[in-house]
Structure formats: structure tokens, C-alpha cells
Chains A and B, each alone.
Chain A
Amino acid sequence: MTTAVWAAVLIGLGTVALRASVLVFAEHLADLPPRVHEVLRMIPPAALAALVTPALLRPEGQLAVFGPEALAGLAALVIAVRTRSLLATILVGLVAVIALQLLLG
């Protein structure tokens, strides 16, 4: 339990430091060179893609390129591109994964 408390405190402090790292100095960012903005612009697509693909292609750890999650993800991607709706994407993806798990189960 003592280890757990220390772990929570140290991870908490480290995480706040990471989260605050650039935000606390934000007022000095006003005149960043355009090249830096160009690099910052790459963060959302890169970070979001890294959160998505393992959940779709390695849902249980092993690679499953044609598994229910991957196929449902593909269906959700089509909906996301067409509708740009968060709710529609989630609903279609969830219904698809449940249906595919039953079919391919």
C-alpha cells in the first residue's frame, strides 16, 4: 500500500508536469515561426491515429486484420468521413462490432 501511495504521488506529479510543460509557457508562443506551427499541426492526426489503430487491429494483442473490430472500424471510418458526426460514428461502429462478433464469433 505504501508503494501504491508513492506510485500515485510520483506518477501524478510527473503527469501534471507533462501536461503543463508547454501550456504554462503559452504566452511566449505568440510569435512562433510558421515552421513550428507546421510541426504542431501534425500532433492531432498522429496522436489520434496511434490511439485508434491498435484497438482496431490488435484488439486482443495479436494482429487481427479482418477481425470484427477492424471491419467495424472500417464501417465507422466511412461514416466518419461522410457525416463528420461523432455520435453516428460511435453508434454505427458499436452496432457493427456487436453484429460482427456474433457472425464471426
Chain B
Amino acid sequence: MRDGAKTVLPILVGVIPFGFIIGLTAVQTGLGLAGAVMFSVVIYAGAAQLAALNLLGVGASLPVVVGTALVINVRFLLYSASLAPHLAEQSRRRRLLAAYLLTDQAYAVSLVRFRERLDPRSRWRFYLGAGVAMWVTWQLSTVAGALGGGTVPASVPLGFAVPLAFLALLVPNVTDRPTVAAAVVSGVVAVVAAPLGGAALPVAAVSGVAAGAALALSSGRS
């Protein structure tokens, strides 16, 4: 477990300001500390929480709030599929816990580590360590934001650590022409489709997967 927690640690530095902003936004939206904690525990997905809070703040209807947040979270379906073969040996209860703890951060560090040939027990412990460290950090930083808002140091863009971490984790996943195509197509579509808001991320990811898979399957690598 320690290994997983240690590996995810540099990313958590970037997660803290994000959680802080979410806690602050929840209080500003009128949810109070209890509402901020409820959002972080029940939803536990930063981008979806932020979008839902913004929409609630402008008085959007329930279907719009829920629909937007779930579109943003469609990527978890891809992560779930990608992670499943690595955790297939675990009990269903463990896999349900793994599902609840599934985040961009826990997924990304675990997938990179799972490229090494680990036994099922080490894989589970690594994932659990990364997942729990991420969960605790998220909850604490949300509470901190809800309690002590207004003191975010704007001069230090710590939040920029999050995309940097994903960049570092992207590199080892790009190993051949199909994975290059997947990353480039997805990256370009994400930038072009950004005005779509919450839908941009899943649209980009699916485009990238389709491009990479088309190239891989047509070149007969499988």
C-alpha cells in the first residue's frame, strides 16, 4: 500500500488546490460545509463536482446538472474497462471498492505500474494505496476549502501540477505508432472540442481510442 501512496504523492500536491477550490465553491453555492463534504464523498470526482456546483449556482434544472456531470464522468467507463483485466483476480467486493476509488490519478499511476509484471496481490495493494491516499487528500482539501476559503495563493499555480502529472504518466503509455495516434488524435480533439464543455473529454478520448485501435488492427499487430 505504501508504494502506491508514495507514487501518487507528487500528484496530490496538485490535487490539494483543486479540492480546496471545490470546497470553497460549494460553500459559495450555499451548500455549506455539510454539502461540500457530501459532494466530495458521494460524487468524488473533481471536474464533475465543479461543473455541478457551477450549474446549481446559476439555477440550472436537476436533469441538466446530473446529465452534464455524468457526461464528464463517462471516461470512468473507459478506465473501468482498462483496469478490469488487472484486478480480475480480486473478489467482487474488492472490485466494488476499487470502482469507488477510481480517479484519473489512481488510474494513471496504477496503469503505469501494472506494465511491470506484478502478482495480483501487489497490484491490489498498490492500487489501494494510491486510491486511499487520493481519497483522504481529496476529502481533507475539500474541508479545508470549505472552512478557510479566500486564501488560495494565486501567484503559485499549483493546480498546474495536475496536467503536468498526467503528461508524465502519458509518456510511458506511448510506445508505438497506434498509441501515438491515440494520444495525438485525442489531444487535438480535446483542444478543438473544448467549447463543448463537459462533453469534450469523452468525445476526445473515444476519438483517440478509435484512431489508435483502427491503426493497430489494420496493421495486423493483434
Instruction: Tell whether, in the assembled complex, residue B79 and residue A19 are in contact, meaning their CB atoms are under 8 Å apart.
Output: yes
Assess A32 versus B208: contact at CB under 8 Å? Given A90-B10, A94-B161. Answer: no
Q: For the complex, what is the distance from the CA of A19 to the CA of B162, rounded to whole Å?
A: 21
Instruction: Tell whether, in the assembled complex, residue B82 and residue A44 are in contact, meaning their CB atoms are under 8 Å apart.
Output: yes
Residues of A within 8 A of B194 (CB): 54, 58, 61
Produce 1/0 per residue, B79-108, CB < 8 A to A. 111111101101010011011101010001
Assess A49 versus B208: contact at CB under 8 Å? Given A15-B43, A18-B76, A19-B76. Answer: yes
Query: CB of B139 within 8 A of chain A?
Result: no
Instruction: Tell whether, in the assembled complex, residue A94 and residue B85 are in contact, meaning their CB atoms are under 8 Å apart.
Output: no
Chain A interface category by residue count: 35 or more
Q: For the complex, what is the distance from the CA of A61 to the CA of B191, rounded to whole Å?
A: 10
Residues of B within 8 A of A38 (CB): 178, 213, 216-217, 221-222
How many positions in chain B have a CB within 8 Å of any CB in the partner chain? 97
- B159-177 contacts to A, CB under 8 A, are 160-174
Can you show 26 pairs from A to B with CB atoms below 8 A apart? A1-B30, A6-B62, A14-B73, A15-B48, A18-B73, A21-B80, A21-B81, A22-B84, A24-B92, A26-B90, A40-B82, A41-B216, A43-B81, A46-B78, A48-B183, A49-B170, A49-B184, A49-B187, A51-B166, A52-B166, A80-B167, A80-B170, A87-B10, A89-B165, A89-B167, A90-B165
